[in-house]
Amino acid sequence: MADPKQVVVTADAVEGSWVYRHAPTHWRPYLKLARLDRPVGAWLLLWPCWWSVALASTLGFSLWHLWLMVLFGIGALTMRGAGCTYNDIVDRDFDGAVERTKSRPIPAGEVTVKGAWGFLVFQSLIGLAVLIQFNVPAILTGIASLALVAIYPFMKRVTYWPQLFLGLAFNWGALMGWVAVRGEIGWPAVILYIGGIFWTLGYDTVYAHQDKEDDVLIGVKSTALALGRHTRLALAVFYGLFFISLIAAGILAKLGGIYYIVIAFAGLHLAVQVVRVDIDNSAVCLKIFRSNILFGWIVFLALIAGQVSH
């Protein structure tokens, strides 16, 4: 293993991340493995959960709703870390051959495969402790997502659309949030879930353009390669369908008129992403990808406003 005092900064880590400035040296490789130096993925996993809780909370927010949001926050952080750890174990040989990912803990020699498996179990147990705090329908809904999480890392080997499977897994919280509040699946949540898949297809295609040259060399597939120069048009279609789903979910949930005013700003944000994307500039792709954290806040505030004005 590499000297723990020489922890490598991951290529796309947030500049000045607390992981490198404040975390104990021996913890850093594992915090990197959980992507805590790159928190955007946790936000992208969390937003469908929080959106769905807000969408389902027609009687207003109570301490119970806030508690659900806290649980989803801990769960998203933990399970995103567990998913990334699993992904890095499965993809360790590929990661070592890609410029952007060769600095990840396993190919960089900072964490052994055995250590990564142990860390995966640890994170999964935390996730389980969080999951059992929900009602039984939500627990069963959460368990049902594990099959998608398990197969996702292998999809890039067999299809040019692995981002579709990521969308299926990453937006599952749109179903769980509603079930956690209502105790059953509702059509607004289903529409939000389907729309979220298109959102993921968009932002992760942009993200995948950072690795397209290396992916061709090592034989890994992605929507970035499948769409190529048609990416901007595809992005417009993906985001357009997602925006329509946000409108439809609001109508089905009978949100107040202010929701549609605020959600228009979310639509503008998506349009700006489409206009500004440069598939040949990795820095621009990463910036656009990360901007979806702000986008998530706009949608969340729109949902809250829609419930208040209901």
| 20: CATH | 1.10.357.140
pLDDT (tens digit, 0 to 9) for every residue of the chain, 310 residues total?
Answer: 444 445 577 777 777 788 888 888 888 889 998 888 888 999 999 999 999 999 998 777 788 899 999 999 999 999 999 999 998 898 888 777 777 778 888 888 889 999 999 999 999 999 999 999 999 999 999 999 999 999 988 998 899 999 999 999 999 999 999 999 999 999 999 999 999 999 999 999 999 998 888 778 788 889 999 999 999 999 999 999 999 999 999 999 999 999 999 999 999 999 999 999 999 999 999 999 999 999 999 999 999 999 987 7
Residue entry with tokens 């627990």: 139
What residue numbers bound the domain in which 285 lies?
A: 4-308
Instruction: Tell me how many domains the chain contains.
Output: 1
Q: Is the pTM of this model over 0.85?
A: yes
Q: Output the six-digit token pair for 91.
A: 């993809």
